């Protein structure tokens, strides 16, 4: 189907031909899932099916885990330098195929090409290059003679097969965040992408193979959470579960993983506050709020969702933010000049619209609050929306909306602003806006979140950790901190005395 105002279909990604062999990647090749059920990937910009595939069932998960298990001894025995070389080659293959990745990601998610070309894809290549370097820097405590009679040292060892589960909002970057530190540390992996968005995870796994990473080190099973996901989490040959997704599903994953005492890593939801003090640069804050709230059509776990603005700036902030939101160009993700694409699906759009419609009863919808008409009516679009004056305990302030919706509330004293920022169960990310270094510094200390930006909101970098506080989960993605997730620490202790009856044996043999 071709709608007026959309790019020609040739310019999109030929998903059906490209992945005609199936959406499972096991032991270095594509296969079809054996669940007996199929799933359609839908282009959310048009509502048309772009790829239909056979979902993974438990047998596909078993095959992928077996492949990962078989690949583990040889992969984990490589030197850090050899794994680093493989990851450098991986980064080069990704760079050669950057445009294909950008188109596939834009197609399945509805992200504007400028976002996938300038953010998702280069970020992923940079992550790969980072972990290529970091692979050679797995660090532990320095060795020493702590007891006096022994030499102790610490080995950081891989864990085995890691079962990872990713969400649909940043499929490529989430695949990268899950897979790269895992394999850099010498583990092998089975990743289950969200069933809505398998394309770039499959491309990523193929690129690993093209870079010479051995078959079975990176496997992809594309199935539903209930079937493939739960089977992967419960699998006895999987040593660890790494999950990124909603807090509700994270709880379920933790429950299942507990039965086999698996190590778990949970990156869950967020409801990031954006705190604007009355000495802030208002123009910078308004621009930052709009970009921070609308990135990826608001489907970002760190997106600015709750702006708390100190009373003297409040009305001006509402006005400027609304005007900026109205200047953002909604359109086809593949058309030049598009700032904002659709949401991931019509169901997600309707869910977002439900939040906004209910808010009309208790708050002020300043701008947006509707789906666009005309050329875009077939897609899962929703206008950038600003909601003012919602009570702190209302659902638009407390729950993750995951759409292009920013809620703005006033506050008076600094204590109140910081208190409101901390008043949700989440704690993934936050920002503080002020030109007073003491005030900003206080906010960074007192806001409970895994990341606090000052005078910006959103940027991430490979060298620094990403992860939550509170019900946003635990464990870190990216950075050398992620190695703590994907390695286990072993204490090795050598006796240095070479005597048969050691001093401490007095606790057993006779008196001193
Ligand atoms: P989701 O929790 O619905 O699904 C995430 C993944 O879990 C999908 O692959 C899904 O198939 C799978 N899944 C669903 N039920 C399962 C089950 N019972 N057992 C095992 N796996 C199951 O989340 P979503 O809607 O895909 O993504 C949006 C959510 O992800 C938001 O809450 C967002 O904040 C969160 N997120 C968090 C981060 C972070 O770094 N903290 C990053 C991106 C997204």
CATH number at residue 209: 3.40.605.10
In a domain, 429, yes or no: yes
Total domains in the fold of the chain:
2
Is 177 close to ligand 1, i.e. is its CB under 6 Å away? no
Closest atom of ligand 1 to CA, residue 177? 40
Is 167 close to ligand 1, i.e. is its CB under 6 Å away? yes
User: Ligand 1 centre and the CA of 246: distance in Å?
Assistant: 4
The number of CA neighbours under 13 Å toward the Cβ of 360 is: 10
Residue 350 belongs to domain with CATH number: 3.40.309.10
Cα 30 versus chain centre, distance: 24
Q: Are 286 and 321 in contact (CB under 8 A)?
A: yes
> Measuring from atom 43 of ligand 1, which residue has the nearest CA?
301
Distance CA 447, CA 430 (A): 7
Is 468 close to ligand 1, i.e. is its CB under 6 Å away? yes
> Measuring from atom 8 of ligand 1, which residue has the nearest CA?
194
Is 46 close to ligand 1, i.e. is its CB under 6 Å away? no
Closest by CA to 304, choosing from 212, 374, 406, 402, is 406
Q: Please give the DSSP secondary-structure letter assigned to residue 470.
A: G
Cβ burial of 492 (10 Å; 0-12, 13-18, 19+) is exposed
In a domain, 408, yes or no: yes
* Model pTM score: 0.96
Is 192 close to ligand 1, i.e. is its CB under 6 Å away? yes
Closest atom of ligand 1 to CA, residue 245? 30
User: Ligand 1 centre and the CA of 259: distance in Å?
Assistant: 21
Q: Where are the alpha helices (DSSP H) in 42-156?
A: 58-77, 80-96, 98-109, 113-115, 121-134
Is 166 close to ligand 1, i.e. is its CB under 6 Å away? yes
- The neighbouring-strand residues paired with 43 are 48
Looking at the fold, whether 170 and 217 belong to one and the same domain comes out as yes
Q: What is the DSSP string of 225-271?
A: IIIIIHHHHH-TT--EEEEES-HHHHHHHHHHHHHTT-EEEEE----
Is 230 close to ligand 1, i.e. is its CB under 6 Å away? yes
The residue from 227, 267, 400, 485 that is catalytic is 267
Looking at the fold, whether 313 and 223 belong to one and the same domain comes out as no
Looking at the fold, whether 83 and 184 belong to one and the same domain comes out as yes
Is 245 close to ligand 1, i.e. is its CB under 6 Å away? yes
Closest by CA to 241, choosing from 261, 216, 227, is 261
User: Ligand 1 centre and the CA of 269: distance in Å?
Assistant: 8
Is 253 close to ligand 1, i.e. is its CB under 6 Å away? yes
> Measuring from atom 22 of ligand 1, which residue has the nearest CA?
225
Distance CA 439, CA 448 (A): 16
> Measuring from atom 42 of ligand 1, which residue has the nearest CA?
301
Whether 267 is catalytic = yes
- pLDDT per residue, tens digit, the chain (512 aa), is 344 444 444 468 999 999 999 999 999 999 999 999 999 999 999 999 999 999 999 999 999 999 999 999 999 999 999 999 999 999 999 999 999 999 999 999 999 999 999 999 999 999 999 999 999 998 777 789 999 999 999 999 999 999 999 999 999 999 999 999 999 999 999 999 999 999 999 999 999 999 999 999 999 999 999 999 999 999 999 999 999 999 999 999 999 999 999 999 999 999 999 999 999 999 999 999 999 999 999 999 999 999 999 999 999 999 999 999 999 999 999 999 999 999 999 999 999 999 999 999 999 999 999 999 999 999 999 999 999 999 999 999 999 999 999 999 999 999 999 999 999 999 999 999 999 999 999 999 999 999 999 999 999 999 999 999 999 999 999 999 999 899 999 999 999 999 999 999 999 998 76
Strands 430-433 and 272-276: parallel
Considering only CA atoms, give the Rg of the chain: 25
Looking at the fold, whether 299 and 176 belong to one and the same domain comes out as no
Q: Are 121 and 102 in contact (CB under 8 A)?
A: yes
Domain with 483 in it: 17-143+158-268+472-490
In a domain, 6, yes or no: no
Looking at the fold, whether 240 and 255 belong to one and the same domain comes out as yes
In a domain, 509, yes or no: no
In a domain, 71, yes or no: yes
- Pocket-testing residue among 37, 241, 249, 268, ligand 1, by greatest number of atoms within 8 A of Cβ: 249
In a domain, 447, yes or no: yes
Looking at the fold, whether 257 and 310 belong to one and the same domain comes out as no
Q: Which residues contact 329 (CB under 8 A, 6 or more apart)?
A: 337, 338, 339, 340
Is 229 close to ligand 1, i.e. is its CB under 6 Å away? yes
Is 470 close to ligand 1, i.e. is its CB under 6 Å away? no
Looking at the fold, whether 68 and 130 belong to one and the same domain comes out as yes
Closest atom of ligand 1 to CA, residue 270? 34
Q: Please give the DSSP secondary-structure letter assigned to residue 473.
A: E
User: Ligand 1 centre and the CA of 94: distance in Å?
Assistant: 25
Looking at the fold, whether 261 and 308 belong to one and the same domain comes out as no
In a domain, 463, yes or no: no
Q: Where are the alpha helices (DSSP H) in 342-467?
A: 346-359, 395-398, 414-421, 437-446
Looking at the fold, whether 223 and 81 belong to one and the same domain comes out as yes
Looking at the fold, whether 34 and 126 belong to one and the same domain comes out as yes
Q: What angle do CA 218, 223, 226 make, to 5 degrees?
A: 120
Q: What angle do CA 422, 428, 434 make, to 5 degrees?
A: 60
Q: What angle do CA 52, 53, 56 make, to 5 degrees?
A: 150
Looking at the fold, whether 186 and 53 belong to one and the same domain comes out as yes
Looking at the fold, whether 185 and 79 belong to one and the same domain comes out as yes
Cα 369 versus chain centre, distance: 27
Closest by CA to 241, choosing from 203, 194, 190, is 190
In a domain, 508, yes or no: no
- Pocket-testing residue among 245, 246, 264, ligand 1, by greatest number of atoms within 8 A of Cβ: 245
């Amino acid at each position: 189907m071709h709608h007026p105002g959309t790019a020609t279909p040739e310019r999109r990604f030929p998903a059906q031909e490209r992945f005609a062999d199936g959406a499972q990647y096991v032991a270095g090749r594509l296969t079809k899932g054996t669940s007996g059920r199929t799933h359609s990937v839908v282009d959310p910009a048009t509502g048309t099916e772009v790829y239909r595939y056979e979902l993974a069932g438990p047998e596909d998960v078993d095959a992928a885990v077996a492949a990962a298990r078989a690949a583990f001894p040889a992969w984990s025995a490589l030197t850090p330098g050899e794994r680093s070389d493989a990851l450098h080659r991986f980064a080069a293959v990704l760079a050669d195929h950057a445009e294909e990745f950008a188109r596939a990601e834009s197609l399945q998610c509805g992200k504007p090409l400028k976002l996938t070309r300038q953010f998702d894809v280069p970020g992923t290549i940079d992550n790969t290059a980072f972990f290529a370097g970091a692979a050679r820097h797995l660090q532990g405590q320095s060795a020493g003679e702590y007891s006096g009679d022994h030499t102790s040292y610490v080995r950081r060892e891989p864990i085995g097969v890691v079962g990872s589960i990713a969400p649909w909002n940043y499929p490529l970057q989430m695949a990268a965040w899950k897979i790269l530190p895992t394999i850099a540390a010498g583990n092998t992996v089975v990743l289950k992408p969200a069933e809505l968005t398998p394309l770039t995870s499959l491309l990523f796994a193929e690129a690993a193979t093209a870079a010479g990473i051995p078959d079975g080190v990176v496997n992809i099973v594309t199935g539903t959470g209930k079937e493939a996901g739960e089977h992967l989490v419960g699998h006895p040959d999987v040593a660890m579960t790494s999950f990124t997704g909603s807090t509700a599903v994270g709880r379920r994953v933790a429950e299942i993983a507990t039965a086999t005492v698996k190590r778990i890593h949970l990156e869950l939801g967020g409801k990031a506050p954006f705190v604007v003090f009355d000495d802030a640069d208002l123009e910078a804050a308004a621009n930052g709020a709009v970009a921070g709230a609308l990135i990826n059509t608001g489907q970002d776990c760190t997106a600015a969702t709750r702006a708390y603005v100190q009373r003297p700036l409040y009305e001006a902030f509402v006005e400027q933010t609304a005007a900026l939101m109205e200047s953002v160009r909604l359109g086809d993700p593949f058309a030049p000049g598009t700032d904002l694409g659709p949401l991931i699906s019509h169901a997600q759009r309707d869910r977002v619209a439900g939040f906004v419609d209910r808010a009309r009863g208790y708050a002020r919808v300043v701008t947006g609050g509707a789906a666009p008409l005309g050329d875009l009516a077939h897609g899962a679009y929703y206008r950038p929306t600003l909601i003012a004056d919602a009570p702190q305990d209302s659902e638009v302030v407390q729950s993750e909306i995951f759409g292009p919706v920013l809620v703005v509330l006033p506050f008076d004293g600094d204590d109140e602003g910081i208190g409101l920022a901390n008043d949700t169960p989440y704690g993934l990310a936050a920002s503080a806006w002020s030109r007073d270094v003491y005030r900003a510094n206080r906010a960074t200390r007192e806001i409970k979140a895994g990341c606090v930006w000052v005078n910006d909101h959103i940027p991430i970098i490979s060298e620094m950790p990403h992860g939550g506080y509170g019900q946003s989960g635990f464990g870190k993605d990216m950075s050398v901190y992620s190695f703590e997730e994907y390695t286990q620490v072993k204490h090795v202790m050598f006796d240095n005395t070479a005597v048969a009856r050691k001093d401490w044996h007095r606790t057993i043999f006779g008196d001193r």
